[in-house]
């Protein structure tokens, strides 16, 4: 068993010699896996008939991580059939037995956290502490959902009666086959969380990860398998858009969870229903604002915005990408934020000191370059603004400097488009009403932050902001850092279609449907 340290997003400053020694031990093990060929897994068996694609490290393009077999149309068909065959048996497995298997899987994830985090750093560019947090969040999401099922006695509840001879019960029952399409940026947590909820609820699962994230997702599959999850209950289908589209279109998929872009999520939302509605849980990104009052602690606000804007190089759906600052303190705040951005270390994400690793691919670099060029032409770049590929001792990867821009009009496209790069735009406001109007002027509504020492302003913000996850005076992250059972994570408006947040009190129930039972004796 590997040495394990609990790291959450609110405690990412956790920094001790044992933690780093354990991570480095995990890195050595993860590097020993490189060069592997990753198959699909259907009914517990590897499938290697699909075309191979190569996964390289965005932090070092010379480093090949693995070859992955894309799932074929036959693989998708066979996976749905295998999941359907297993569904009845798994649904009839008593919920305490399902909980026991899922808790064992969570424990394996925690035990393997160092090597899983190190692989994640190599595959998607997360620094070591954020990667450890992602892995531990995956385990904690599963544990939290298991506890929800336990606390609610498997979601079976007695109801009232109309005559003494009848017994009435409300039972939540699984749908059957549930597909999970997961993103690159949280390749453990946003695969394990939905999969764990679906599984503990009694559904069988088909996981289709982002291609960049396939290796980490395959290791997650191994954790479920090694914990004793029966063959057929969990299928692993790596591949690109074709595999995902086939799952969305398949009539045998009874429910689906998607995490990704607004455009793709809305396309799935419109397509997924068959001859009758089917449950769909979508998390579709954010364009997340922070509001900084003239009554704020500006050092706290700068720390919170920097952490949210530049963690994972801005590639979080919860990243802070726009800040509205009361005009009287705009210059001071912007200077403090620019200073923090300039002090952040950019480097190989597996190195101890790196805060920003690479962005995921060349397309992200191109979005960054377009935004920076626009900001230089129409406003001011006050920190960063440079592509760091080939600079100094950095490996040949997709490295970008953390960037702060200002001087753009509040209706500029940089304040509207989700960029997924380490760039935050700052604009002034005069009244809190104006700031709230600007913050809410978006189709998205995932997270938002506020900094003020005035209780009346805080109350106004909480009442009026249109976002599913909000933080006030939080230096650990102005708009980022949710944790299972602590801050439920889900979006409003175009950021989420379910209205029930991951890691929260009502999430598991989305994977179940109610049956009312009346038995007369």
> How many whole angstroms from its chain centre is CA 189?
6
DSSP output for 317-355: TT-EEEEEEEGGGHHHHHHHHHHHHHHS-B--TTSTT-S
User: Across-strand partners of 288?
Assistant: 320
Cα dihedral: 220, 221, 224, 227 (round 10): -90
CA–CA separation, 440 vs 442, rounded Å? Answer: 6
**Neighbour order of strands in the sheet with 40-42:** 45-47, 40-42, 234-236, 204-208, 177-181, 255-259, 280-283
Enclosing H/E stretch for 426: strand 423-429
**Residue 176: Cβ within 10 Å count:** 19
**Residue 342: Cβ within 10 Å count:** 13
CA–CA separation, 89 vs 233, rounded Å? Answer: 9
Please say if 317 is a catalytic residue: yes
Three-state SS for 447? strand
CA–CA separation, 43 vs 234, rounded Å? Answer: 8
**Residue 27: Cβ within 10 Å count:** 19
Strand stretches in 105-247, DSSP E: 156-158, 166-174, 177-181, 204-208, 234-236
| Residue among 31, 510, 24, 455 at smallest CA distance from 278 | 510
For Cα atoms 281, 284, 285, give the angle at the middle one, nearest 5 degrees.
145
Three-state SS for 132? helix
Kindly tell me the burial class for residue 343, based on how many C-beta atoms sit within 10 Å of its own C-beta (0-12, 13-18, 19 or more). Answer: exposed
CA–CA separation, 182 vs 169, rounded Å? Answer: 35
CA–CA separation, 131 vs 370, rounded Å? Answer: 29
Out of 283, 320, 418, 457, pick the active-site residue. 283
Out of 317, 320, 418, 457, pick the active-site residue. 317
Three-state SS for 77? helix
Kindly state the DSSP code that residue 252 receives in the 8-state scheme.
T
CA–CA separation, 341 vs 382, rounded Å? Answer: 10
Do 468 and 496 touch, CB atoms closer than 8 A?
yes
Q: At 242, give phi and psi (nearest 5°).
A: -65, -45
Three-state SS for 209? coil
Do 95 and 385 touch, CB atoms closer than 8 A?
no
CA–CA separation, 35 vs 442, rounded Å? Answer: 44
CA-only gyration radius of the chain, Å: 23
Q: Report, as residue numbers or ranges, the catalytic residues.
A: 283, 317
């Amino acid at each position: 068993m590997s040495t394990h340290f609990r790291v959450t997003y609110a405690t990412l400053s956790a920094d001790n010699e044992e933690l780093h020694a354990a991570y480095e031990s995990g890195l050595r093990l993860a590097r020993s896996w490189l060069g592997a060929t990753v198959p699909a897994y259907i009914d517990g068996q590897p499938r290697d008939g699909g075309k191979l694609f190569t996964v390289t490290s965005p932090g070092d393009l010379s480093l090949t991580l693995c070859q992955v077999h894309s799932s074929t149309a036959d693989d998708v068909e066979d996976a749905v059939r295998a999941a359907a065959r297993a569904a009845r048996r798994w649904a009839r497995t008593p919920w305490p037995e399902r909980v026991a298997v899922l808790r064992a899987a969570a424990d394996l994830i925690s035990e393997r956290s160092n090597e899983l985090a190190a692989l994640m750093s190599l595959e998607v560019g997360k620094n070591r502490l954020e990667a450890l947090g992602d892995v531990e969040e995956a385990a904690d999401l599963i544990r939290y959902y298991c506890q929800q099922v336990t606390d609610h006695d498997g979601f079976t509840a007695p109801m009232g009666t109309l005559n003494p001879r009848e017994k009435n019960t409300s039972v939540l029952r699984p749908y059957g086959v549930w597909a999970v399409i997961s993103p690159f940026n949280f390749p453990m947590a946003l695969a394990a969380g939905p999969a764990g909820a679906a599984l503990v609820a009694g559904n069988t699962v088909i996981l289709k990860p982002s291609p960049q994230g396939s290796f980490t997702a395959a290791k997650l599959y191994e954790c479920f398998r090694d914990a004793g999850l029966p063959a057929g209950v969990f299928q692993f289908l790596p591949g690109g858009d074709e595999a995902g589209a086939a799952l969305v279109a398949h009539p045998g998929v009874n429910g689906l969870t998607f995490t990704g872009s607004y455009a793709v999520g809305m396309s799935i939302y419109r397509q997924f229903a068959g001859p009758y509605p089917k449950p769909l849980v979508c998390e579709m990104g954010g364009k997340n604002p922070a509001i900084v009052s003239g009554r704020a602690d500006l050092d706290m606000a700068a720390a919170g915005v920097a952490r949210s804007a530049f963690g994972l190089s801005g590639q979080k759906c919860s990243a802070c990408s726009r800040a509205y600052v009361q005009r009287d303190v705009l210059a001071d705040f912007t200077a403090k934020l620019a200073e923090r951005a300039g002090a952040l270390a950019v480097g190989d994400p597996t190195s101890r000191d790196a805060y920003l690793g690479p962005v995921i691919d060349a397309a992200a670099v191109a979005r960054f370059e377009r935004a920076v060029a626009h900001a230089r032409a129409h406003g001011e770049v006050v920190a960063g603004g440079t592509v760091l590929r080939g600079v100094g001792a950095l490996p040949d990867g997709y490295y970008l400097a953390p960037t702060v821009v200002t001087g753009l009009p509040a209706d500029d496209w940089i304040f509207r488009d989700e960029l997924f790069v380490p760039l935050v735009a700052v604009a002034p406001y005069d009244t809190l009403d104006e700031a709230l109007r600007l913050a809410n002027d978006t189709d998205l509504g995932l997270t938002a932050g506020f900094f003020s020492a005035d209780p009346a302003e805080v109350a106004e913000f909480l009442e009026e902001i249109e976002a599913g996850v909000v933080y006030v005076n939080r230096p650990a992250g102005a708009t980022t850092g949710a944790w299972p059972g602590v801050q439920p994570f889900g979006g409003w408006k175009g950021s989420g279609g379910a209205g029930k947040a991951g890691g929260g009190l009502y999430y598991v129930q989305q994977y179940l449907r109610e049956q009312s039972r009346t038995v007369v004796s």
